[in-house]
Homo-oligomer: A and B are copies of this chain.
Amino acid sequence: MVDILHRVAIKASTAEVYTALTTVEGLAGWWATNTKGKGNDISGVLQFRFDAGGFDMEVLELDPAKRVRWEAVEGPEEWVGTHVDWNLEQVDDYAVVLFKHEGWKEPVEFMHHCSTKWAVFLLSLKSLVETGKGAPDPHDVKIDNWN
């Protein structure tokens, strides 16, 4: 089992970041413009749709301003059953975000792609919360020939 790890710090409160992770409006502002579902209820399901396909995430854990945990229940086969884990901590003026996408079975080439792409979207999240403007799909930074 191998994991994707990232860390960003956002000049904001952890409550503001939590809102961007648990509301459709927030998620559509940094990840996928085409987001539907329920992000602020345990067992709620979020549907993220991209040009090339999409993912459904079930909300497993919610601890306001501190933690969010999702399970990928639909999507590319490499994703199904993996977990996306968000830990938030206030350090002075920053909401520090520790991110994990864990439970990949193999470090396949697609995992390399997703690791870089998660970094791009985490910087989009940072930008959304700090400036009001993120770069969600389809306006996201393109990284490779897979997008």
Contact = CB atoms under 8 A, between A and B. Distances in A.
A120 B113 CA distance: 14
Contacts of A9: 143-146
A96 B116 CA distance: 13
Secondary structure type dominating chain A contacts: mixed
A2 interface: yes
A143 B116 contact: no
Given A6-B115, A94-B145, A115-B119, 18 more contacts: A2-B5, A3-B107, A4-B5, A5-B111, A7-B143, A7-B146, A8-B116, A8-B144, A9-B146, A91-B145, A94-B144, A96-B145, A116-B119, A116-B123, A119-B119, A119-B120, A122-B143, A126-B143
